[in-house]
Chains A and B, each alone.
Chain A
Amino acid sequence: MRAKKLAPVMRGLSAVTASVMALSIVGADIADGYRARIDDFLGTQSYVTNTDEDSARFVSDYDTFEDMKAAAKDIAVREGEEGTVIMKNDNSVLPLSGKSVALFGLAAYAPYPYASGDLKAGNTDAVDLVQAFQDAGVEVNQTVMDFYENGILNEHTEEVANQWTGEMETQVAYDHIYVTAPGDMTTYQIAEVPPSEYENLGAPSGWESQIDKDNTVGICVFARGAGESNTYAPGSAVNYAGEETGEDPLALSEDELAVIDKAKETCSQVVVLINSGNTMVLSDIAAGGEHEVDGIAYIGCLNDYQAIGVVNVLTGQINATGALTDTYVADNSSIPAVQNFGGGYYADYEVVNSDGDDPRYPGTTIENIEAGSFGGTTPTYNGGTYIVEAEGIYVGYKYYETRYYDSIANPDSGAASAAGATQSDAWSYNDEVLYDFGHGLSYLDYTQELRSVNVDCTEDGEITAVVAITNNSDQDGRFLAQLYAQQPYTDYDRENNVEKSAVMFLNSAKVDVAAGATEEVTITIPTKYLASYDYTNAKTYILDAGDYYFTAAAGSHEAVNNILAAQGYTTAEGMDAEAAGAVQIWNLAEMDNTTYSVSNGTEVTNVADDADLNYWTEDDTVTYLTRQDWEGTWPVNYNEVEINISDSPKSEEWIAELRGQTYTIQDGDAATEGTDSGLRFDTTDIQYEQLDNIEDPFWTELVGQITIDEAVGAVIHGGSQTDTLTNIDNPVVVQNEGVSGFTAAYTDEETGETYRFNVHSQTLLGSSFNPELAYDWGRVEGNSGLWLQRYHLWGTGLTQRRTPYNGRNYEYISEDPMLTNRMGYGVLQGCADMGILNGPKHMGFNDQEHNRAGISVYMNEQKFRETDLRCFQGGLEDADGMAVMIAFNRIGATNASHYAPMLQTILRGEWAYTGLISTDMMNNNYYFNPESMIMAGITQVADFATNDNHINMGDGGTDATWAYIDEDTVSKDAALVDQARENLKYQLYTFANSAVMNVSTERVQTWWDNAISAVTYISGALAVVTLAAWIVLTVKPEKKKEEE
């Protein structure tokens, strides 16, 4: 009887234990694929890092945690000190020595960014503006502070449920605060509370009389939000009341101006502080504006400690040495690049669609519409939109200063025509420009004079300039010298469409000078940057014959005026000021089109003809802006021009590129399988000779050991975490964010204290104009990596600020390629010196976030080489940069991550770059494909979560993301597999040359690994036992019955 009851129980138990065993076996495999994510979530570690302290090649500069923290804080304060720009300073309003202040504006009490995250560390000892003022002994008006902090902002925390875990998380929240996310080309509310609301929100009536007007300076602080995937749209401003005003969201709104007026009413003087990474429009408060204020200062985006430095400048503790990284204009529609902004569809974009005819995805309908950065909804190639960057090199000051120069020196160019003029019928520099690039007032009177310049015209030669700085004041101080040059604009250039800016920034330096003394500072820059790219005739870099003018000046406009004066022009011809400084002339007798036609052994010639829309239409569809004819070539909005892909003689090729078919997997050349020849990634096999020379045969032999499956798999799934390869035994390397430093928290073993080292401000580094500060920050960032035992991060942003509207401008440096180039050089070299891989974002024209995941960016090759790429060239060619992230968008019609001309010819060839190359986030398998990425030279694809080195995470051995490839398919294409191994070679070589080879990682079982194993074994054993018991019990009882 018992048997009868027991049998079903055994059967039931067998079912349960068998299911549990199946679950744990399959689950273990899946968990392994998401190991890093699970570790993050549970706080476990699957890899233990063993640092060989004695033989470690990279050792931190700091012995104690206190020292490391102090260094981080110190550099952040220096950024505040060196990056604060005094834009306007009338009536001696600044410095504030001894005066009291009343702070107005939401950002005064909660500067941007206020929430800790990627761009703000949020350490407990962070100092905001109010505290910085108080610590500096400045009296802050209590009445205004009270009603702002308690009535208007009312900072509190909110419990917000984490959407996945349901756990409540605390977040800072305010009753009233500016909008931190611009959104994706939508309306932007400038949520500044106007004074008419103050009393409603708690200001005591008659609060104005609580301010001692005569002795108080009103300081108004205004911010603008920013963020990934965000783009401002022209004309999209919404006011506090929620009404659309049709104004530019980057211009000061009526509500903000009302706050300023109230400050002017209640205080004797007013200073406005600009707290934004997006250049704002300040015509109303600048000289002559309806709401003109006494002082304006740029304070960038503040992190934990920069406010201390900002206040040190505002109170006059130290001299102001910052300068503007962008041109401030009266109206953003005067910007040539804004004429082609946002992008739009080809007239016949649907011709690219596949209705099942794409051989890689037979039977799948694939559209060609815009998708988000993740391509999640309908399958789409996301190749339907485009933008034409018809402005060429004329971004920022290069446009305004050149047109100013031509209005004086070349009036036939139409510089004074109406085209592009926003303030009147005739374009005039002083109507359009409020503050020029490089503008920044010093408290102490000084002069900078270019004493000499030497130009070494060889491939690796440098321009050496000696600038004398004279401190005309009675205080010791620090001063900024900026070096500019003018290249000759010749008939050859006019005939061959080589554009030249009337002035170009080369480099800058700061120096301490005692009161009344003069000090010399030497500024150097590689000569190659003086050459221009001739894409129509010589098809290489050229140095025109003629006079090259060099000058040291406090800004691009002063530089142009110095040069005009040296050329004999005066205010009679229209100059708006007299020359301020000396000019040195270097003459080149004959055109040189050979010295810079070769770089690092690679011939330099046209590689990006197909980035030009005219190449595809075979029609002069695009007219590029030229200084020969400002009026006739003022950019047309090419999104309003009907472009039909099918009308092109190259339509088939065009469609193929838009579909991502840059490379097609070949069949017929069998790849060699990798076998173990005993070489490993360790210090016994890798000695000095191997470290120094990637051509050493060791590296080819090492990667020859990688199996076909892992060679391809490690490239196409290698993002997030680089895993250990079989036969190589390289350590695991996790990738980290962000642009302000490592976001990971450090926990001190002894005290348990946690600290975050991402204390940097990219905006203030830019406006510091100090490449040495960039190096110092890079070194601190690198040091923090050693402390965190994290060796690879996407730790700086170097994209050119093509327009003020890009929501990620706060992660970048400037509108100018050379300033960005020099800052990138400093940061990357600083990190490299500590053995940390710092990959700048995003190489290749990611000028806007709107539809970044597929938009075609068309341009001519002069723009290609001399603008955004030049921003990265300093760090990746001149410095020892070891990593880079490629832009999300297309170069021409080709996905930047498929674009071999940029990645192989320029990056690997011309720049001799040996580091790793990563894509941006890969989440649209119809836009990115493995074969094109491998052949272009990508070493790792940033897919979101999976950590894997294999092709076969999908069904039946096919790839989980790209189902048309499996090990078998790729094995028949030797070129593909060899290229994959070649790409990994660079990656391994770079890891060996970094702090990654300081360490070895050991895989350890986490508690959940053990738990899963235990469950598998126990449930397995029980399943067998209960199954057997059930069978026996089922078979047995009958016999007993019969016996009875």
Chain B
Amino acid sequence: MIKKQSFGIWFNLVVAVLTVVSLIVYGVNISGEGYFKGASVGNLILYGVIAIIMLAAVIVLAQLQITGTAQKVMEIISGLLRIAVPVLLTLALVNLVSARAEGLGFIYFSNADVLQEVQTPANMSSATGTIANMICLGAAAIFAMIAAFFTLRKKDA
């Protein structure tokens, strides 16, 4: 039976969900028509998946009823994972921004005449998709940072 979870656990779950959503938005963005079709970003999926696995591990570890030194060790491991997750998500976001900057520059900043050529509906929606991707990842990273503050163990009554 799944016992009642602390607020911290729920929050970490939210982070995991946000990460998954980011990866989905990313997948949609690079498979849809438009400027960024096929434009995969190195390591993005890798970091995202590792972050999700780490969050899963954290949630699982928090379910374990252990005490003593083992518990200390688990807390350290869990804590380190919870510090690593926002770092990974931040790196994923930075990778994404770096890969997309030139393309976005083209779409928004070309000189007037070229702009007309580049701003097709498909490209604009692709650009919006990529920006949404960045926002999702950014939110996941920030939430992950906040999540690191919360205790995972429900306070014993």
Q: Which residue numbers of A lie inside 8 Å of B, CB to CB?
A: 8-9, 11-12, 14-16, 18-20, 22-23, 26-27, 30, 33-34, 37, 117-118, 163-164, 181, 183-184, 227-230, 364, 372-374, 376-379, 923, 944-946, 954-955, 1027, 1030-1031, 1034-1035, 1038
Assuming the A-B contacts A374-B106, A377-B34, A377-B35, are A19 and B118 also in contact, with contact meaning beta carbons closer than 8 angstroms in the complex?
Answer: no
Question: In the complex, which of the residues B37, B117, B145, B150 contacts A16, with contact meaning CB atoms closer than 8 Å?
Answer: B145
Question: In the complex, which of the residues B33, B87, B113, B116 contacts A22, with contact meaning CB atoms closer than 8 Å?
Answer: B87
Q: How far is the CA of A33 from the CA of B99 in the complex (A)?
A: 12
**Which of B95, B112, B113 has the most chain A CB within a 10 Å cutoff?**
B113
Q: Please report the total number of B residues contacting A with Cβ < 8 Å.
A: 48
Q: How far is the CA of A698 from the CA of B128 in the complex (A)?
A: 53
12 A-B pairs within 8 Å (CB atoms) are namely A12-B148, A26-B94, A26-B98, A164-B108, A228-B111, A228-B114, A372-B117, A374-B110, A376-B123, A377-B35, A944-B105, A1035-B76
Q: Return chain A residues, CB-CB under 8 Å to B76.
A: 1031, 1034-1035
Distance of B128 from chain A, by nearest CB (Å): 12
Question: In the complex, which of the residues B110, B113, B141 contacts A181, with contact meaning CB atoms closer than 8 Å?
Answer: B113
B94 and A374 contact, CB distance less than 8 A: no
Distance of A884 from chain B, by nearest CB (Å): 21
Q: Return chain A residues, CB-CB under 8 Å to B146.
A: 12
Q: Return chain B residues, CB-CB under 8 Å to A374.
A: 106, 110, 114, 117-118
Q: How far is the CA of A8 from the CA of B79 in the complex (A)?
A: 9
The yes or no answer to B10 lying at the interface (CB within 8 A) is no
A11 and B116 contact, CB distance less than 8 A: no
B99-146 residues at the A interface, CB under 8 angstroms: 101-103, 105-106, 108-114, 116-118, 122-123, 141, 144-146
Q: How far is the CA of A1027 from the CA of B97 in the complex (A)?
A: 28
Q: How far is the CA of A41 from the CA of B83 in the complex (A)?
A: 34
Q: Return chain A residues, CB-CB under 8 Å to B85.
A: 15
Q: A19-B86, A227-B112, A374-B110 are in contact. List 11 more A-B contacts (CB 8 A).
A: A12-B145, A15-B144, A26-B94, A37-B105, A164-B108, A228-B113, A229-B113, A377-B37, A377-B122, A377-B123, A955-B42
Question: In the complex, which of the residues A8, A378, A379, A946 contacts B151, with contact meaning CB atoms closer than 8 Å?
Answer: A8
A15 and B82 contact, CB distance less than 8 A: yes
Cβ-closest chain A residue relative to B114: A229
A12 and B116 contact, CB distance less than 8 A: no
Distance of A301 from chain B, by nearest CB (Å): 15
Distance of B28 from chain A, by nearest CB (Å): 16
Q: How far is the CA of A308 from the CA of B106 in the complex (A)?
A: 38
Q: How far is the CA of A813 from the CA of B90 in the complex (A)?
A: 53
Assuming the A-B contacts A8-B150, A181-B113, A374-B118, are A945 and B105 also in contact, with contact meaning beta carbons closer than 8 angstroms in the complex?
Answer: yes
Q: Return chain A residues, CB-CB under 8 Å to B141.
A: 19
Q: Which 9 A/B pairs are nearest by Cβ-Cβ distance? A: A12-B149, A15-B148, A955-B42, A227-B113, A228-B113, A376-B35, A19-B90, A12-B148, A19-B86
Q: Return chain B residues, CB-CB under 8 Å to A20.
A: 90
Q: Which residue numbers of B lie inside 8 Å of A, CB to CB?
A: 33-35, 37-38, 42-43, 72, 75-76, 79, 82-83, 85-87, 89-91, 94-95, 97-98, 101-103, 105-106, 108-114, 116-118, 122-123, 141, 144-146, 148-151
Q: Return chain B residues, CB-CB under 8 Å to A945.
A: 101-102, 105
Q: How far is the CA of A955 from the CA of B110 in the complex (A)?
A: 27
A14 and B111 contact, CB distance less than 8 A: no
**Which of A15, A34, A372, A377 has the most chain B CB within a 10 Å cutoff?**
A15
Distance of B103 from chain A, by nearest CB (Å): 7
Distance of A121 from chain B, by nearest CB (Å): 16
**Which of B79, B89, B97, B118 has the most chain A CB within a 10 Å cutoff?**
B79
Cβ-closest chain A residue relative to B83: A15
Q: Return chain B residues, CB-CB under 8 Å to A1034.
A: 72, 75-76, 79
Question: In the complex, which of the residues B33, B82, B111 contacts A11, with contact meaning CB atoms closer than 8 Å?
Answer: B82
Q: How far is the CA of A184 from the CA of B94 in the complex (A)?
A: 37
Distance of B82 from chain A, by nearest CB (Å): 6
A184 and B117 contact, CB distance less than 8 A: yes
Assuming the A-B contacts A30-B98, A373-B114, are A14 and B148 also in contact, with contact meaning beta carbons closer than 8 angstroms in the complex?
Answer: yes
B123 and A1030 contact, CB distance less than 8 A: no
Q: Return chain B residues, CB-CB under 8 Å to A1038.
A: 72
Q: Return chain A residues, CB-CB under 8 Å to B111.
A: 117-118, 228
Distance of A243 from chain B, by nearest CB (Å): 23
Distance of B8 from chain A, by nearest CB (Å): 8
B116 and A181 contact, CB distance less than 8 A: yes
Q: How far is the CA of A1030 from the CA of B75 in the complex (A)?
A: 11
B106 and A376 contact, CB distance less than 8 A: yes
Q: How far is the CA of A137 from the CA of B32 in the complex (A)?
A: 63
**Which of A26, A184, A376, A945 has the most chain B CB within a 10 Å cutoff?**
A376
B102 and A164 contact, CB distance less than 8 A: no
Q: How far is the CA of A34 from the CA of B101 in the complex (A)?
A: 9
A15 and B94 contact, CB distance less than 8 A: no
A23 and B94 contact, CB distance less than 8 A: yes
Q: How far is the CA of A183 from the CA of B103 in the complex (A)?
A: 23
Distance of B101 from chain A, by nearest CB (Å): 7
B112 and A15 contact, CB distance less than 8 A: no
Question: In the complex, which of the residues B43, B83, B102, B116 contacts A18, with contact meaning CB atoms closer than 8 Å?
Answer: B83
B149 and A9 contact, CB distance less than 8 A: yes
Distance of B121 from chain A, by nearest CB (Å): 12
A22 and B90 contact, CB distance less than 8 A: yes
Q: Return chain B residues, CB-CB under 8 Å to A1030.
A: 79
Q: How far is the CA of A955 from the CA of B42 in the complex (A)?
A: 7
Q: Return chain A residues, CB-CB under 8 Å to B105.
A: 37, 944-945
Q: Return chain A residues, CB-CB under 8 Å to B97.
A: 30
Q: How far is the CA of A966 from the CA of B148 in the complex (A)?
A: 40
Q: Return chain A residues, CB-CB under 8 Å to B75.
A: 1034
Distance of B81 from chain A, by nearest CB (Å): 10
Q: Return chain B residues, CB-CB under 8 Å to A1035.
A: 72, 76
Q: How far is the CA of A163 from the CA of B94 in the complex (A)?
A: 22
Distance of B36 from chain A, by nearest CB (Å): 8
A11 and B148 contact, CB distance less than 8 A: yes
Q: Return chain B residues, CB-CB under 8 Å to A923.
A: 106
Distance of A488 from chain B, by nearest CB (Å): 45
Cβ-closest chain A residue relative to B150: A8
Q: Return chain B residues, CB-CB under 8 Å to A37.
A: 105
Q: How far is the CA of A923 from the CA of B114 in the complex (A)?
A: 12
Q: How far is the CA of A945 from the CA of B104 in the complex (A)?
A: 11
Q: Return chain A residues, CB-CB under 8 Å to B91.
A: 22, 26
Q: Return chain A residues, CB-CB under 8 Å to B33.
A: 377
Cβ-closest chain B residue relative to A165: B108
Q: Return chain B residues, CB-CB under 8 Å to A229.
A: 113-114, 116-117
Q: Return chain A residues, CB-CB under 8 Å to B113.
A: 181, 227-230
Q: Return chain A residues, CB-CB under 8 Å to B145.
A: 12, 15-16, 19
Q: Return chain B residues, CB-CB under 8 Å to A379.
A: 38
Assuming the A-B contacts A16-B148, A228-B111, A1034-B75, are A376 and B103 also in contact, with contact meaning beta carbons closer than 8 angstroms in the complex?
Answer: yes
B94 and A27 contact, CB distance less than 8 A: yes
A16 and B106 contact, CB distance less than 8 A: no
Cβ-closest chain B residue relative to A164: B108
Cβ-closest chain A residue relative to B94: A26
Cβ-closest chain B residue relative to A808: B113
Q: How far is the CA of A164 from the CA of B131 in the complex (A)?
A: 12
Cβ-closest chain B residue relative to A115: B112
Cβ-closest chain B residue relative to A376: B35
Q: How far is the CA of A372 from the CA of B34 in the complex (A)?
A: 13
Q: Return chain A residues, CB-CB under 8 Å to B118.
A: 372, 374, 376
Assuming the A-B contacts A14-B83, A16-B86, A377-B34, are A944 and B102 also in contact, with contact meaning beta carbons closer than 8 angstroms in the complex?
Answer: yes
Question: In the complex, which of the residues A11, A19, A33 contacts B79, with contact meaning CB atoms closer than 8 Å?
Answer: A11
Cβ-closest chain B residue relative to A371: B117
Cβ-closest chain B residue relative to A1035: B72
Assuming the A-B contacts A181-B113, A229-B113, A946-B102, are A1027 and B83 also in contact, with contact meaning beta carbons closer than 8 angstroms in the complex?
Answer: yes
Q: Return chain A residues, CB-CB under 8 Å to B114.
A: 228-229, 373-374
B106 and A944 contact, CB distance less than 8 A: yes
Q: Return chain A residues, CB-CB under 8 Å to B89.
A: 19
Q: How far is the CA of A1027 from the CA of B82 in the complex (A)?
A: 12
Q: How far is the CA of A1001 from the CA of B97 in the complex (A)?
A: 30
Distance of A855 from chain B, by nearest CB (Å): 15
